[in-house]
Amino acid sequence: MKKLKKLSFCAVLLTSLVFAGCGTTQDGTAENPQNAQQEQTTAPQTMQVNLNTGEPNTIDPGLAEDIPSMSVARAAFDGLLRLNEKGELKEAVAEKYEVSADGLTYTFHLRDTKWSNGDPVTAHDFEYAWKRVLDPETASGYAYQLYYLKNGEAFNARKAKAEDVGVKATDDRTLVVTLENPAPFFPELVASVTYFPVNKKVVEGNKDWAAKPETYIGNGPFVLKKWEHKSVIEFAKNDTYWDKDAVHLSTLTINMIEDPNTELSMFEKGDLDWAGSPLGDLPLDALDALKDSGKMQTQATAGTYWYIFNTTQKPFDNKKIRQAFATAVNRKEIAESVVPFKSTPATGILPPTMALNPDGYIKDGDVETARKLLAEGMKEAGLTELPELTISYNTTEVNQRIATVIQDQWRKAFGIEVKLVNKENKVHREQMKEGNFTIGRASWIGDFNDPINFLEVFKGGLNTSKWENKEFLDLLAQSAKEGDPAKRKEILKKADAIVMDEMPALPIYYFTYAWVKQDSVKDVVVDALGFIDFKYASNVK
């Protein structure tokens, strides 16, 4: 039996003072633990993360539509409300706010805060920013997020004027917001990137203000210091930020490495402090080992990975053909073999946190039914053979593997060959918007935890499928006016059933985020909707 070694003074000390440090000076005497702790905590804290999708599409908060773009904007900007380090919704630029008894009017009272160039942040900046998003000339894909404002949708459709929109700065510190209908989730929306302010003077003075660090003026925890396109984005702590004492990182560096193996390798060498979701990705072949080692953390999130059918092109202008291709997909195989620990099979558009039909809508991998639907659909469409079909996806390991598996499943089910085309993320998104695809990889992460946020993807500017259904749109409109939660739920349930019957999108799996982080990293907020916030992060090495 081996003898137990005598515990050193440092080891004993660490059992009671978790954050204390202990070492020796050059002459071999013990350092003062309190002095070591002071040096450790006051040293500059840095953090290195990775963005595996390449260049963000934009870092303008009013135009941001995806997690990479929104994550950059969230670092540089602050809204009226923000999630704290515990994921709780708290006041930010707004010091307090009141809601009228009928739920239609919100009055926000702003605290004294500044832009990173020293200008005061005022209620007028918020009014300008919100109306800018709604302005049809801005062409913001997320304009619909402000349709909850009175006359917001009408202004965006050129049926009302900017002054008719229900947001008004009554003075520099007071913002009065009037809603079209009561929206109990509105505070959650106010904390989202689309509702962030922008500096009117800066934006109107330079149309390219969000393209360079020297002109990118924000009001958030960090300021943009460097942007080497397709390489690195670097932030520094914003010393003019109203809550700067809560910000511990002196620098935040976002690398742009698209290969997950390189990302994990850099993490293991200590060159990255965080690898994996939500910004990066872990190699699929490493997931089992990372899980077994206890290093990998996972978190289910309100997001659905799906394929979009272009319903303006043959053969997917036919509902039964869309149903056939969706029914032939074996989601369980994908969830268990392609993205284990990162997914659960999707049987509907809505993720489990907001599902209206918990039993789901799709029979998984039902090839017999799929073949029957395809034959019926082709007869209806007057087709004797299918045209060339293509799956378009943005380049990642996960997307490539999923496309390959589904390609094989459709080959076995229908005896057809589907072409795979991968593109850079920005190009893929643009071509999806332009309708230049047959089947396109996409996904949706909730902006707030309510079914309407997913269902509205199939109307307006975000509806890349171009599918239209009057009954569906009428139901969404009815739900907005229904004040009874139970009745509203039933209305949305009908709308959900229509989407799943018409199948403009093919749901594949619900997201589970997976990541690894260095032990020194604390208080990075990954909320239930999948957004990441580095405001409160610390990294004491």
Return the CATH number at 498. Answer: 3.10.105.10
pLDDT of residue 43: 82
Would you call the peptide bond into 351 cis, given omega within 30 degrees of 0 as the criterion? no
Q: Are strands 167-171 and 105-110 parallel, antiparallel or unpaired?
A: unpaired
Q: Higher model confidence: residue 47 or residue 363? A: 47
Same domain, 20 and 78: no
Residue 275 lies in a domain: no
Give residue-wise pLDDT tens across range 338-349: 999 999 999 999
Q: Looking at residues 242-250, what average pLDDT do you find?
A: 98
Same domain, 95 and 19: no
Same domain, 212 and 192: yes
The percentage of the chain sitting over the pLDDT mark of 90, rounded to a whole number, equals 84
Q: Looking at residues 385-404, what average pLDDT do you find?
A: 95
pTM above 0.85, yes or no: no
> In the predicted model, is pLDDT for residue 160 greater than 60?
yes
pLDDT of residue 409: 98
Give residue-wise pLDDT tens across range 341-389: 999 999 999 999 899 998 899 988 999 999 999 999 999 999 999 999 9
> In the predicted model, is pLDDT for residue 10 greater than 60?
no
Return the H-helix or E-strand segment holding 305: strand 297-309
Same domain, 121 and 231: yes
Whole-number mean pLDDT of the chain? 91
Q: Looking at residues 275-295, what average pLDDT do you find?
A: 95
Residue 209 lies in a domain: yes
For residue 540, give the amino acid letter.
V
Same domain, 509 and 523: no
Same domain, 403 and 491: yes
Same domain, 186 and 55: yes
pLDDT of residue 325: 98
Residue 165 lies in a domain: yes
Tell me how far apart the alpha carbons of residues 368 and 70 are, in angstroms, rounded to a whole number. Answer: 43
> In the predicted model, is pLDDT for residue 158 greater than 90?
yes
Residue 352 lies in a domain: yes
Structural domain boundaries, residue 311: 298-513
Give residue-wise pLDDT tens across range 201-225: 999 999 999 999 999 999 999 999 9
CB atoms within 10 A of CB 172: 14
pLDDT of residue 22: 31
Give residue-wise pLDDT tens across range 222-241: 999 999 999 999 999 999 99
Residue 276 lies in a domain: no
Same domain, 153 and 183: yes
Number of structural domains the chain divides into: 3
> In the predicted model, is pLDDT for residue 9 greater than 60?
no
- What stretches of 351-459 adopt beta strand conformation (E)? 389-394, 418-423, 439-445
Residue 250 lies in a domain: no
pLDDT of residue 344: 94
Residue 267 lies in a domain: no
Helices (H) and strands (E) in the chain, counts: 17, 21
Same domain, 509 and 522: no
Same domain, 20 and 128: no
Q: How many residues does the chain have?
A: 541
Residue 442 DSSP SS3: strand
Q: Domain of 140: which CATH number?
A: 3.90.76.10
Q: Looking at residues 81-93, what average pLDDT do you find?
A: 94
Burial class (CB in 10 A: 0-12, 13-18, 19+), 143: buried
